[in-house]
Chain A
Amino acid sequence: MAGSGTAHMRNNDEVVLEVRDLVVEFKIGRGLVVNAVSKVSFDVCRGETLAIVGESGCGKTTLGKAVLQLPPPKSGDVVFEGTNLTKLPKEQLRSARTAMQMVFQDPISSLDPRMTVRALVEEPLWIWERGTEEERGAKVRELLNNVGLDPDLVLNRRSYEFSGGQCQRISIARSLALEPRMLICDEPVSALDVSIQAQILNLLQDMKDRYGLTMIFISHDLAVVKAVSNRIMVMYLGKVCEVGSPDAIYSKPAHHYTSALINSVPIPDPTRKRGAVPLQGEPPSPVAPPSGCRFRTRCPAATELCAAEEPQLREVNPGQYVACHHPRT
């Protein structure tokens, strides 16, 4: 991977979100610092779904939250519809956030257990004092209907009375209450059962169409990502490996990590035996990442160059960018 660079950035009118050289670090005591996100840049165009894919610890969730300045990144810029969020004063940031909402991984933990569904979905409207009491009530019912829940059955119940899938529906309804223009979904289906996953993924697609949303879809699951995204960014240990369209990435991955990731996904078809040897080893600690390319310790193609010099993103095929000194051909 592992590199930085901005070759993949598009400069057109359609870009709604532009993230440049974003750095997020966490202090974990003993003078140690986790390099969660290191100089990551990307952009998202209007109506597009950008998927951010990677394994645990690659910084994808931190990146998603940092876009919303939760918490604010250490350095770098987040420009949303022309406004640089990192430079906004607290109050303006608060109102700027309403245009971007988030759906979280754990549907149960993301809903306050003491509140009724009505209060949960109404809360964003309450915060921003949108509409009268009645208008808000009508809006809540409309939202619940749209996410496939019967308002009469659910309004006065609390989150623990629902299954994970239903909680995720409530959570999605809440995130749409302020009519955001962008939705950041952080592993929205990974805590759900297989048969429920598809329901929620379809719902997200429907909501995207109905509300004209631009989406960032964060996931560890390549198969899920393939179904929902227009553009994929693969991350490893706080850096970007590869950016491109789903078709390009899945059919001819240029980065060795992307290829290993794709080859590791079990396919529910016994007749298709895998030839490839699985990737060896595990990701190094983000506290002391390797020099140069961060993937080089596990990469079958690593050379001395990879240890010495960090690869920059460059275009290998039209619209497909890779940060690798020795890309697959």
Chain B
Amino acid sequence: MNSLTFKFIAVLRRVAQIVVVIVGSTLFVSLLLQLLPVGLEDLYVFALDEAGRQEQIRLLHLDANPVMFYLYWLGDFVRGDFGSYVYPTGVLDPVAPRLGAALPISLRLVVYVQIVALAISIPLGIFTAYRSGRRSDKVISYGLFTAASIPNFVFALLLASFFGVSLAWFPPLGYTAPGDGFVEHLRSMALPVMALAIPTVATYTRLLRTDVIATLREDYVTMAASKGLSNRRILFTHVLRPSSVTLFTSAALNMGALIGGTLVIEQIFSIPGLGSEIGLAIFSRQYFALQSYVAIIAIGYVVFNGIVDVAVGFVDPRSRERSNA
């Protein structure tokens, strides 16, 4: 077999892994529904006559065994049917359009947070690493440690009460779509983004600082210095790239925490994103919708991590070799 075949097999293996995780996580949620102390029928079947009742049970696949029930859901999901909210009147409200409205808002939130966090933490991480051990590093590092420990909802509440209510610089509640005025949009996102970004900046800066300090001790940095390169050149050509691998990997892993964070933050700031939808689905016991939401988040997370793995392969050729081996 030639190396191309091996690469192809490696890619296949990788994809298979992703599929296993996605199927596993959705199956997990689906089986979770079996743990409900109430029968699904009691929750979702409201027809008065027996014929209508049977019809609804068949429609919602409630008569199937747990595995078949999951497979029906999976079949629908793959075809783009994410299930429905089921109302006592028997009316089905499909999830897809609601998802279509909510998902972009949450994605915006998460992407803004990542951009802000990386934009601040990269220079800060490098600065503190180069000043390592001196007073400015110690002050910043302790501050960041504290900030990383404070839950994002604490920041959300403090920011909302201070900048939103007391100073009234930003709207404390609500969301403005970019179409309705971009400046207003940014203003409405400012506090939620800050609330999520502060602990994130703290985490990223610490990671980058640690890695840059470790890289600066490497022989190849001394080697670069012994070639007569300037400090700035050494930083950009020799230090930054190997040091950034952990940062970008954990930025990807952090997507999960951020998505979890949006649940709470959207609730606090009344932003109609995925977090609010999930809250609503749980509150009104819409478990079919919940299953699909969890599936979407898990897929997004796994696929995103796969992409970052590939990207890291470009930054750090060693990892490419490792994942192939």
The CA of A4 and the CA of B1, in the complex, are separated in Å by 28
Residues of B8-44 contacting chain A, CB below 8 A: 9-10
Q: Does A70 contact B (CB under 8 A)?
A: no
Q: Does A90 contact B (CB under 8 A)?
A: no
B7 CB to closest chain A CB (Å) equals 9
The CA of A31 and the CA of B325, in the complex, are separated in Å by 9
B325 CB to closest chain A CB (Å) equals 5
The CA of A31 and the CA of B9, in the complex, are separated in Å by 10
Residues of A23-39 contacting chain B, CB below 8 A: 28-31
Q: Does B324 contact A (CB under 8 A)?
A: yes
Interface bin, chain A: under 10
The CA of A30 and the CA of B6, in the complex, are separated in Å by 6
Cβ–Cβ contact A28 & B1, under 8 A: no
The CA of A31 and the CA of B8, in the complex, are separated in Å by 13
The CA of A31 and the CA of B324, in the complex, are separated in Å by 11
B315 CB to closest chain A CB (Å) equals 22
Task: Specify which chain A residues have a CB less than 8 angstroms from the CB of B1 in the assembled complex.
Answer: 31
Task: Specify which chain A residues have a CB less than 8 angstroms from the CB of B325 in the assembled complex.
Answer: 28-30
The CA of A31 and the CA of B6, in the complex, are separated in Å by 8
Task: Specify which chain A residues have a CB less than 8 angstroms from the CB of B9 in the assembled complex.
Answer: 30
**Binary CB contact string for chain B from 42 to 70 against chain A (1 if under 8 A, 0 otherwise):** 00000000000000000000000000000
The CA of A94 and the CA of B189, in the complex, are separated in Å by 66
Residue of A nearest to B3 (CB): A30
Residue of B nearest to A31 (CB): B1
Task: Specify which chain A residues have a CB less than 8 angstroms from the CB of B6 in the assembled complex.
Answer: 30-31
Of A28, A29, A31, the most chain B CB neighbours within 10 A belong to: A29
The CA of A29 and the CA of B325, in the complex, are separated in Å by 5
The CA of A28 and the CA of B325, in the complex, are separated in Å by 7
Residue of A nearest to B6 (CB): A30
Task: Specify which chain B residues have a CB less than 8 angstroms from the CB of A30 in the assembled complex.
Answer: 6, 9-10, 324-325
A12 CB to closest chain B CB (Å) equals 46
Residue of A nearest to B325 (CB): A29
Task: Specify which chain B residues have a CB less than 8 angstroms from the CB of A31 in the assembled complex.
Answer: 1, 6
The CA of A119 and the CA of B10, in the complex, are separated in Å by 46
The CA of A307 and the CA of B324, in the complex, are separated in Å by 31
Residue of B nearest to A29 (CB): B325
The CA of A28 and the CA of B1, in the complex, are separated in Å by 15
**Binary CB contact string for chain A from 22 to 57 against chain B (1 if under 8 A, 0 otherwise):** 000000111100000000000000000000000000
Residues of A within 8 A of B (CB): 28-31
Residues of B within 8 A of A (CB): 1, 6, 9-10, 324-325
The 4 A-B pairs at the shortest CB distance, nearest first, are namely A29-B325, A30-B6, A28-B325, A30-B325
For this complex, 10 residue pairs linking A to B, each with C-beta atoms less than 8 Å apart, are: A28-B325, A29-B324, A29-B325, A30-B6, A30-B9, A30-B10, A30-B324, A30-B325, A31-B1, A31-B6
Given A29-B324, A30-B6; 8 other pairs, CB 8 A cutoff: A28-B325, A29-B325, A30-B9, A30-B10, A30-B324, A30-B325, A31-B1, A31-B6
